Every structure is written in structure tokens, then in C-alpha cells.
Chains A and B, each alone.
Chain A
Amino acid sequence: MSTAGTVVIGSGTSGAGAAVAGPAVVTGARPLPLNAVRMIARARAGAKANRLGFALGLVFGALLVLVRVHEYQTIHNMLMLRDPYVFLLMGAAVGTAGPLLWLLRRRRWNTPFGGALAPERHPVERRHIAGSMVFGAGWAVTGACPGPALVMAASGNVLGVVVVGGLFTGLLLRDWVARRQGVPEPTGC
């Protein structure tokens, strides 16, 4: 558990809210985000902990261009089951990251900016299925998911900007609906 002012990273999130008064959680009645403890840890590590994320994003964004998933035709050919490329790509990515993470956890890896490595895992809820069905429909229409849509816009395709504009609109719409229904905001990814 944590006492006022000190945070034990990885001690869980419920209950820590009352004691922690970091810059990230001064939100009045808003519920404490799931990753609040890690956000506080990063705030303590200094701005560089956050700024370093730019480098990771840079590599990720460049890779999305190099595998061409920012083009409608790549995703469309996958979803029409004409080309297995993207399935193989995603399989190879999970096949690389999965064993790596398993190995790091077994070695009790301590992350530089977030305490002991403990990837979030969630039980299945209705929202995972309902939300993914809505997302899947949009993915089929546009051939773009959030990452590739962003890179599509960045590569100079003005229609990518249209998709990103719609994406922000839909996201805020969902937040508005969730607020009206009294559903807490989703956190994590």
C-alpha cells in the first residue's frame, strides 16, 4: 500500500487514489486512471521519460510506411482474403513480442520508467466485443486503423486527414456517450 507522498509502483491501483496526490491525478471527481501509478512514476523520472516516447513513435511510424499498411489497398486485399501479408505481419509481430515479454517477465524485468514489468490483462467484457464490431466495420470501409490512418495523413494523402478527423470525432462521441451513461473512461491502450 502507499502512504501520502510515497507510491509503491505495482501495488495496484484501487485504494492508491486516496493517498496519492501527484500532478496526474488532481482530477476532482474523475475516477483514477488505471495507469495513474505509472504516470506518476514517469512524472518523477522527469520529462525525458515521456520525451523518449517520441523516438519509439518515430520508429513505429516509419515502419508502418515501410510495410505499406497505410495504403487502402494493402488492408483491403487482406480483408478480402486475397493476400495473407498483413496476417503474417501481425503474426510475426506477436510471435516476436510475446516470447520476448514472457522471457522478460520470467527474469523479473524492472522497467526504467514504470516499475516491475506487469503487462495489463483484462477479462472479457461486453464492450470488447461490441466496440470491436463497430471498429471492424469502420476498418472495412476505410482500410485504415488508428496508427496507419495517422501515417496515411502524414504521407500526404488528404483522405487520410478525413479519416483521422472522423476518428477524433468518433472518439469524443464515445466519451460523451460514456459520460452520459455513467460508464468510466477506458484506460490503457
Chain B
Amino acid sequence: MGTLVVEQLPWYVGGPLIGLVVAAMYAVWNEPLGVSGLYAHVTRFAVRRPDTDMLRVWVFAGIVAGGVLATLLQGGPRVSADYGVLSAALPLLLLVPILFVGGVLIGYGVRWAGGCTSGHGLAGSSAFSVASFTATATFMATAIAVSFLLNWLLGGVL
């Protein structure tokens, strides 16, 4: 099997395709495509809670499989621990706990806000939900501000 190496789809190709997936989730199941909600139902599935939404568990599994499939088509997967400029700036021993804490912040925040980049940023915004517009503007502005702050704290290496 040959490998399909696509460096990065142009935004005007990838964006509309992702938009079609978001629309399909609504058009077929009447549900928002929110990945943080998928995680939440996987945690319910893990403890066999009866109110687990199996649709969301299946979509979660599909995303993992899709990630593996696309990586395979591109000649991977390669086991790595690469984190761009952050790898260069910090030793691995420090990077791992920082990324874990970053993950905790993501999980705590998205569960509190009831959605993330996909659920609020893409799906909710496409449905013209005011809460989603507000959430999206908030996490974008916060992430930009914190990125600049981190770069400043690390002496401009990021």
C-alpha cells in the first residue's frame, strides 16, 4: 500500500469538510458534535452507568480509529514524544507533569463550560447559540493571553 502524504490540507478544503461533519452530526442524530461530551460518556461507560450514551462512545472510538488510520496512510504511526518548541524549552521530566496539569485544566474547564472547541466553537456556534459564542470568545481570548504570558515567562523562546 502506498502512502498518501498530505502535509496539511488548505484551510478552505479542511474547514468546509469539518463543517460537513458537524452538520452531519446534527442532521442524522440531532446532536451537537462536542468532543468533551464524548469523554464524559466514556467515563460513564467505564463504570457501566445506565445513562451512558452509546452514540458518544462510538464517536469517541471512531475518532481514535480515524487518527490511527490517517497516520497509517501517511506512513506512521511513529512513537514519539515531540512537543515542538516546548520540547526544546523544557526537559522531558518537567514537560510531562506540566502537560498533565494542562490536561487537568482542559478537562475541568470543558466539563464546567459544557463544551470545548468542537462543542461550543464549531457545533454550538453553527447553531447560533449565544452561550457557545460567549464560551468560544472566552477560551480564545484566554488561550491567546496565557500563550503570550508563558512565552514571556520563558524568556521569549516559545
Residues of A at the B interface (CB closer than 8 Å) are 23-27, 30, 33, 35-36, 38-39, 42, 47, 49-68, 70-74, 76, 79-81, 85, 88-98, 100-101, 104, 109, 111-125, 127-147, 149-159, 162-175, 178, 186-189
Contact = CB atoms under 8 A, between A and B. Distances in A.
A146 B116 contact: yes
A95 B19 contact: yes
Contacts of A57: 58-66
Interface residues of B, number: 123
Nearest to A67: B14
B38 to A, nearest CB: 8
B67 A67 contact: no
B79 interface: yes
Contacts of B39: 146, 167-168, 171
A189 B114 contact: yes
Interface of B: 6-9, 11-12, 14-40, 42-43, 49-51, 53-71, 74, 76-86, 95-96, 98-132, 134-136, 138-148, 150-151, 158
B56 to A, nearest CB: 7
Nearest to A27: B51
Contacts of A112: 28-29
A101 B59 contact: no
B29 A146 contact: no
A162 B112 contact: no
A49 B43 contact: no
A154 B68 contact: yes
Contacts of B9: 63, 66-67
B22 A97 contact: yes
A167 B112 contact: no
7 contacts: A57-B66, A117-B26, A121-B131, A146-B106, A147-B116, A152-B67, A155-B71
A67 B18 contact: yes
A132 B120 contact: yes
A13 to B, nearest CB: 13
Cβ-closest 8 pairs across A and B: A166-B103, A57-B62, A189-B34, A61-B66, A92-B15, A170-B107, A189-B119, A136-B142
Contacts of A164: 103
Contact of B141 (A120, A136, A143): A136
B127 A121 contact: yes
Given A65-B66, A155-B71, A159-B83, A166 B142 contact: no
A163 B100 contact: yes
Q: Which of B54, B84, B104, B112 has the most CB of A within 10 A?
A: B112
B36 A146 contact: yes
Contact of B53 (A39, A132, A178): A39
